[in-house]
Chain A
């Protein structure tokens, strides 16, 4: 199963940071998301794009994770050469992440 099947995502930008939320449609899927959408996997997924560290904040009452990707926007929207200078489309990539359902408790 893909993360897309159980969650939605939105990307925003601040300076040279990309901020990506991952939000479960059904709060019961949140433990699965929290255990599998890890900082390490997010770092690997965006290895061509993110040059800095990755932070993760958890909001269990909303079934939501928020990732802060540092040094991710080619110096920031205003001088980036990227076609998608805001990094808005990055949310669609995270939803392609494979989720192992068998790990559901």
Chain B
């Protein structure tokens, strides 16, 4: 039976590049897939594109392509990635330039677009999934609106002979399901096969999180050779059998435990994992170790795809100010607490209405709150005041007050930092799939 080997070359935009090179060179893979778009990445990329129409794609695109392109061309490994972000066409042109630099003679790139549904969303009558607010009321704040496309346009690009497929917003697992549908000619209504493909994609989409990354806990879960952590490979057969493995000799491990942790990662109801191509059911999935670092995952199920498609909308949403200063040694906690009390009084006296504000001590209660941190006395703490405000001026006021703890607060504060940034937040909505028109453009050398 035919087997296709999919490799995950990135699990997020800033991911490490060396393990992707290792995959391309030694992974004996057919496809190298880079998943690089978090929820608000497209909105941030859209802001870049507004400033410069040649930008708006993944900042590491060029580095990644320079690192793997020659090897992939030589070994006939096809590349699929959502690194196009807000500007897949500009990304493709960039890749063609790099290919020329590297002396590559021929290259075909499929550019997927159609995820940008800003005009549809603004002119329609849609509500946010979060609070049920009308989207039209947010009009002045909206930067971008991108629908989660499914496999279809990627499969089409592959059929047109693309060596590389570059997309904007696409469902993450669809990046992995698409080459399987293309290679095996799976029917779009064979839920059993599709769900196994989505399962493979979901397990691979965060790259090292299934090979021992984000897993080690000394004495409890000791991951071998963590510094040389390898990226994962899914071996998928034509009949939908899936084995998760990694590059021979690379660091980390693939075990039942790493696969279970990744299976449930960011999954709401495991029996209803909504995807543009299928509603997958992971609730009955079983995981079996065939050999060290060879894990079989089976029994994913599924049903009809949802009639609506999820859209992520990026919004300009005020400013966050984050001011910090440290206290250490004897009495650090009480001096830190005094600083917080003084800051709260000064900030409240200003009368400014913040959208949200918090006062905390890093090292004591900043991350898990008071209840969970009771009974611990750290040697050093870091005062933190963070506020979300409507204007940049109000956010700056807060961080300046924290910095002023140097001369106007308790004894011995040091290492003050202040950071003010614009908030780009996201909300979601659902739109009927008929309103989305994906398309494919081929660029070639």
Contact = CB atoms under 8 A, between A and B. Distances in A.
Interface stretch (B1-9, B23-31, B89-97, B258-266): B258-266
B317 A79 contact: yes
Interface in B271-299: 271, 283-287
B257 A66 contact: no
A59 B257 contact: no
- In this complex, the interface size class of chain A, counting residues with CB under 8 Å from chain B, is 35 or more
Given A25-B257, A75-B356, A83-B362, A17 B268 contact: yes
Contact of B264 (A14, A61, A66, A89): A66
Interface stretch (B60-68, B153-161, B381-389, B405-413): B381-389
Interface string B318-343: 10101000000000000000000000
Contacts of B370: 48
Interface string A11-40: 011111101010101000000000000000
A22 to B, nearest CB: 9
What secondary structure prevails in chain B residues at the interface with A? mixed
A62 B388 CA distance: 41
Given A14-B266, A17-B268, A81-B387, A62 B261 contact: no
B260 A64 contact: yes
Nearest to B314: A78
B442 interface: no
B268 A19 contact: yes
Q: Which of A10, A47, A74, A96 has the most CB of B within 10 A?
A: A10
A103 B211 CA distance: 34
Interface string A69-83: 000001111110111
Closest 8 CB pairs of A and B: A48-B369, A12-B266, A21-B264, A81-B386, A78-B425, A79-B425, A10-B261, A12-B265
Given A8-B215, A77-B40, A81-B387, 13 more contacts: A13-B266, A21-B265, A45-B371, A45-B372, A48-B369, A62-B260, A68-B268, A78-B39, A78-B40, A79-B317, A81-B357, A81-B358, A90-B368
